Amino acid sequence: MNVSLRIAWRYLFAKKSHNAINIVSGISAAGVAVVTAAMVIVLSVMNGFGSLVERMFSAFDPDLKITAVEGKFFSTAADEIQQLRSLEYVEVYSETVEETGLIEFAGKQVPAILKGVDDNFTELTEIDSIIVDGSFSVNERYDDGSGVQGRMFERCVPGWGLANQIGITAHYAGGMKVYAPKREGKVNMLRPDKSFNSASTFISGVFAVNQTKYDDKYMLVSLPLARMLFDYSDTEATAVELRLAPGVNVKRAKRETEQLLGEGYAVKNRYEQQEDFFKIMQVEKALTVILMIFILLIASFNITGSLSMLMIDKREDAAVLSNLGADNALIRRIFLYEGWLVSALGALSGLAAGVAISLGQQHFGWIKLGTGTEYIVSAYPVEVQAADIMLVAVAVLALGWLAARIPSRKLTTNNVE
């Protein structure tokens, strides 16, 4: 420890001639500590909400989603697509068809996004974990007495918002009609109904991602039914969705998949599939950090006042040091370190308090969101991230250094004697 820092450390805990200096210094450190703790807690809560929403999307979105760069669909019989099945990092391969159709039930007609999924969909996603009514099933095999075994019985699973719009639940035994415009041919103005493909399906369950993007617009149906409705062949799909093996690096898998498929395909990870949403969350977090830093700046400049008072209190000590041969630079550094140590003391206290409160909320859920089923979680979600702790620590120490530097720069041997 150099001379300037050693003297500043002694001054930090030494008794001052005026008790007001101790009080002002304590208030300055407390102000920095409170704002620091608030920054840690606010950022941790934002991380908690972000992770909560990410987990919701992960129950519906695949690890990687492959779509065509041009056009709505592509052939899954292409060699590069078939090679995906044999890749070591691919655990589940699934083909999907996703288009807009029309649902008719009990005299109500509601547009919806029909997503046709194959038998691998339950392994691809965690769809079973978000079923809130009934069960997940998009087809069923049964014997209707005609002697043909294993005939398909079409089922569907709408989002809870969409189910509410059409007024149906998983316990309703009747069917609903699904319409989709034919891809080829002209619209028959005399018989417009002939311009649509149609099918009947029965509801088996209702899912809830708790995001209107899915809950109010999506209905899951079987892949063969979707292909029939939208005039796709058995080797055509709008997307191929992949689940990666445990422990696989998503960035590396995405990069290798892009290299395999070439420029004709777009490969998106979960973040990119919901890019708009996560960008909004990042902007909100950035604006919050800027606002909290501004508040921290105000709190840090309380150190300027306490340091100025300390400089007046220690004029005799500074004069003695000057007579012993200390130059202006050394005396400035003493008071610069003194102010910075006050800020550092507040920062350490605030970081410790903020982390402790955040971890306590994370494990014990002290602060509740409310009661009732309208809340996804009962308590505020919290997630402490090391990067946020480092960001707060650097910001506090940097602003503390700046606040202490202003009065210390004005100090010379002429105003301490």
- What is the count of structural domains for the chain? 2
Q: Do 99 and 238 fall into the same domain?
A: yes
Q: Which two tokens stand for residue 63?
A: 């690890």
Q: Are residues 229 and 93 in the same domain?
A: yes
Geometric angle at alpha carbon 273, from 270 and 277, rounded to 5°: 100
**What whole-number percentage of the chain has pLDDT above 90?**
50
How far apart, in whole angstroms, are the C-alpha atoms of residue 43 and residue 57?
A: 21
Asked if 290 and 264 sit in the same domain, the reply is: no
Per-residue pLDDT band for 10 (boundaries 50, 70, 90) equals low
- Decide: 212 and 179 in contact? Cβ < 8 Å: no
For 270, half-sphere exposure in the C-beta direction (CA atoms, 13 angstrom radius) is: 18
pLDDT at 305: 72
For residues 125 and 173, state if they share a domain: yes
Same domain assignment for residues 49 and 189: no
Is the same domain home to 172 and 122? Answer: yes
What pLDDT does residue 211 have?
A: 86
Looking at the fold, whether 242 and 115 belong to one and the same domain comes out as yes
Please compute the mean of the pLDDT values over residues 229-241 and round it to a whole number: 95
Please identify, among 232, 247, 270, the residue that sits at the C-terminal boundary of a domain. Answer: 270
Q: Are residues 301 and 258 in the same domain?
A: no
The confidence score (pLDDT) of residue 26 equals: 78
Q: What is the pLDDT of residue 414?
A: 47
Separation CA 219–CA 117 (nearest Å):
10
Mark whether 302 and 391 lie in a shared domain: yes
Query: What per-residue confidence (pLDDT) applies to 11?
Result: 63
Q: What is the pLDDT confidence band of residue 390, given thresholds at 50, 70 and 90?
A: very high
Question: Is 62's pLDDT higher than 90?
Answer: yes
d(Cα 49, Cα 369) in Å, to the nearest integer? 12
pLDDT of residue 417: 47
Tell me the average pLDDT across 355-375. 81
Mean pLDDT, the chain, integer:
84
> What single string gives the DSSP state of each residue in 326-392?
--HHHHHHHHHHHHHHHHHHHHHHHHHHHHHHHHHHHHH--SB--SSTT-SSSB------HHHHHHH
The torsion defined by the Cα of 336, 340, 341 and 347, in degrees rounded to 10, comes to 180
235 and 289 part of one domain:
no
| pLDDT tens, residue by residue, 68-100 | 999 899 999 999 999 999 999 999 999 999 999
192-233 per-position pLDDT tens digit: 667 789 999 999 999 999 888 899 999 999 999 999 999 999
Residue range 120-154, pLDDT digits in tens: 999 999 999 999 999 999 987 655 555 555 556 78
C-alpha distances (whole Å) from 373 to each of 31, 106, 162 are: 39, 28, 19
DSSP of 138-187 = SEEEE--SSS-TTEEEEEEEEBHHHHHHHT--TT--SEEEEEEE-SSS--
- State the helix-helix crossing angle for 302-313 and 328-364, rounded to 10 degrees: 140
Last residue of a domain, one of 270, 304, 319: 270
Whether the predicted model's global pTM rises above the 0.85 cut: no
Given a contact cutoff of 8 angstroms between Cβ atoms, the answer to whether 400 and 297 are in contact is: no
Q: Give the integer Cα–Cα distance in Å for 339 and 308.
A: 9
Domain boundary among 236, 270, 304: 270
- The 10 Å CB-count burial string (b at 16+, else e) for 223-256 is bbbbbbbbebeeebbbbbbbbbeeebeeeebbee
Q: Report which of residues 165 and 144 the model is more confident about.
A: 165
Residue 24 pLDDT > 80: no
Alpha carbon 414 to chain centroid, angstroms: 57
Q: What range does the domain containing 337 cover?
A: 3-57+278-415
Same domain, 343 and 248: no
Spatial distance between the Cα atoms of 55 and 57, rounded to a whole number of angstroms: 5
Per-residue model confidence (pLDDT) at position 344? 87
Between 191 and 382, the more confident residue is 382
Q: What is the pLDDT of residues 294-349, one digit of tens each?
A: 988 888 777 777 767 666 666 666 666 666 666 667 777 777 787 788 888 889 99
Please enumerate in sequence order all residues whose Cβ is within 8 A of that of 317, keeping only pairs 6 or more positions apart, or say none. none
Over range 358-375, report the average pLDDT. Answer: 79
Mean pLDDT of 103-108: 90
Say if residue 259 is in the same domain as residue 283. no
Pairing of strands 175-181, 196-203: antiparallel
Percent of the chain surpassing pLDDT 70: 80
Query: According to the model, what pLDDT value does residue 277 have?
Result: 86
Give the pLDDT mean for 248-256: 94
Mean pLDDT score, 384-389: 93
Task: Decide if pLDDT at 156 tops 80.
Answer: yes
Give the chain's end-to-end CA distance (angstroms, integer): 27
Q: Give the mean model confidence (pLDDT) for residues 224-246.
A: 94
* DSSP H or E run through 63: none
For residues 346 and 396, is the Cβ–Cβ distance under 8 A?
yes
What is the per-residue pLDDT for 16?
54
